[in-house]
């Protein structure tokens, strides 16, 4: 049931030609701070603007053409499933609630998926996806707790280790853990001594809380600059939880202020536009929350962010997030 390196190698064949083998580029600024090469894996350059295309393509490949696929993510997973299904000529139905902003609905539709708008909560959308599975024979694709999805994300680890066999530390943004599980499994199969650190925001970090509790637990979801890292891991989690438990050397948490600053660093020093979720690895190094001893890489996981909010951050303005305000600070002051 647990995917292994052979599954990742097979996934690499399956996704080739649709998902890109993205560049792994040095960050001179971060390298100078670390005293070692610090590398950025640019998954923000994937066709959908995020790495989730990899897992979605590998999962969709296992589904009968006639049936079709469904999920209820309005974020990068929904985009990945929509794009992967269209690339393979398979029907995709993405379920979402009436409260989802029109821009997100339009974005998913533009990728060729059917959008099913139902109810007023994520739970209603989830119930509809489950109905489509029961009554119409669609296959639901999990964003992280699926062996094909994990193997697909693992291809990132394969590419990184092929490019830099001397790598000693991998810093991986962590939410549901499909990315961290796949990347850690592939990287450690190739180089057992590599240290893999999962990084989340310090409010509402479901995997971190679950690892501490020793079983999947629920956490309250809180607004974060790293919005792609929000959400639970599922109380019935079968794969990404035990894999993260066994494969991650450590999990580190960063604050919203840390993320705000690291977004400025990635923008001004490396000229990269990326989501808050992408910079948690930089933030952990910049704040000394992880120390790196050797060549280090992190994954710039996606670029699908609210540009108004991004503009506020890079110009040093305050950002309102749910019940809190992050105090602005101009970069370099």
Residue ranges that bind ligand PLP, judged by CB under 6 A: 50, 52, 76, 143-144, 173-180, 228-229, 275, 277, 301-302
> C-beta of 319: minimal distance to ligand PLP in Å?
18
Strands in the chain per DSSP E: 24-26, 38-42, 69-71, 92-96, 114-117, 139-140, 169-173, 195-201, 250-254, 296-300, 319-321, 324-326
Phi, psi (degrees; rounded to nearest 5) at 144: -150, -25
Pick the closer one to ligand PLP by CB: 224 or 264.
224
Which position's Cβ is nearest ligand PLP?
Answer: 302
> C-beta of 177: minimal distance to ligand PLP in Å?
5
Give the Cα separation of 193 and 165 in Å (integer). Answer: 11
> C-beta of 280: minimal distance to ligand PLP in Å?
9
Pick the closer one to ligand PLP by CB: 54 or 91.
54
> C-beta of 40: minimal distance to ligand PLP in Å?
14
> C-beta of 50: minimal distance to ligand PLP in Å?
5
Give the Cα separation of 165 and 276 in Å (integer). Answer: 28
Give the Cα separation of 273 and 294 in Å (integer). Answer: 26
Pick the closer one to ligand PLP by CB: 171 or 179.
179
283 within 8 A of 253, measured Cβ to Cβ: no
Pick the closer one to ligand PLP by CB: 46 or 264.
46
202 within 8 A of 258, measured Cβ to Cβ: no
Pick the closer one to ligand PLP by CB: 84 or 91.
84
């Amino acid at each position: 049931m647990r995917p292994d390196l052979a599954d990742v190698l097979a996934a690499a064949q399956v996704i080739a030609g649709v998902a890109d083998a993205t560049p792994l580029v040095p960050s001179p600024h971060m390298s100078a701070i670390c005293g070692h090469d610090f590398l950025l894996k640019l998954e923000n350059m994937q066709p959908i603007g995020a790495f989730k295309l990899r897992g979605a393509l590998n999962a969709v490949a296992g589904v009968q053409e006639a049936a079709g696929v469904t999920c209820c993510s309005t974020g990068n997973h929904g985009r990945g499933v929509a794009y992967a299904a269209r690339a393979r000529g398979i029907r995709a139905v993405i379920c979402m609630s009436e409260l989802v902003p029109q821009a997100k609905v339009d974005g998913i539709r533009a990728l060729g998926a059917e959008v099913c708008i139902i109810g007023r909560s994520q739970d209603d959308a989830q119930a509809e996806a489950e109905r489509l599975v029961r009554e119409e024979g669609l296959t639901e694709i999990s964003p992280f707790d699926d062996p094909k999805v994990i193997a697909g994300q693992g291809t990132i680890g394969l590419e990184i280790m092929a490019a830099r066999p001397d790598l000693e530390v991998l810093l991986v943004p962590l939410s549901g853990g499909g990315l961290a599980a796949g990347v850690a499994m592939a990287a450690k199969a190739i180089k057992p001594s590599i240290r893999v650190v999962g990084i989340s925001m310090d409010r509402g970090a479901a995997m971190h809380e679950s690892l501490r509790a020793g079983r999947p637990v629920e956490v309250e979801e809180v607004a974060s600059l790293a919005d792609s890292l929000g959400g639970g891991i599922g109380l019935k989690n079968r794969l990404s939880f035990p894999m993260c438990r066994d494969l991650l050397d450590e999990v580190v948490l960063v604050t919203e202020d840390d993320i705000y600053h690291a977004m400025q660093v990635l923008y001004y020093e490396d000229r990269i536009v990326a989501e808050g979720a992408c910079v948690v690895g930089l933030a952990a190094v910049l704040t000394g929350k992880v120390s790196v001893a050797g060549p280090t890489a992190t994954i710039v996981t996606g670029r699908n962010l609210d540009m108004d909010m991004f503009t506020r951050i890079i110009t040093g303005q305050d950002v309102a997030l749910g019940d809190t305000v992050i105090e602005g600070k101009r970069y370099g002051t």
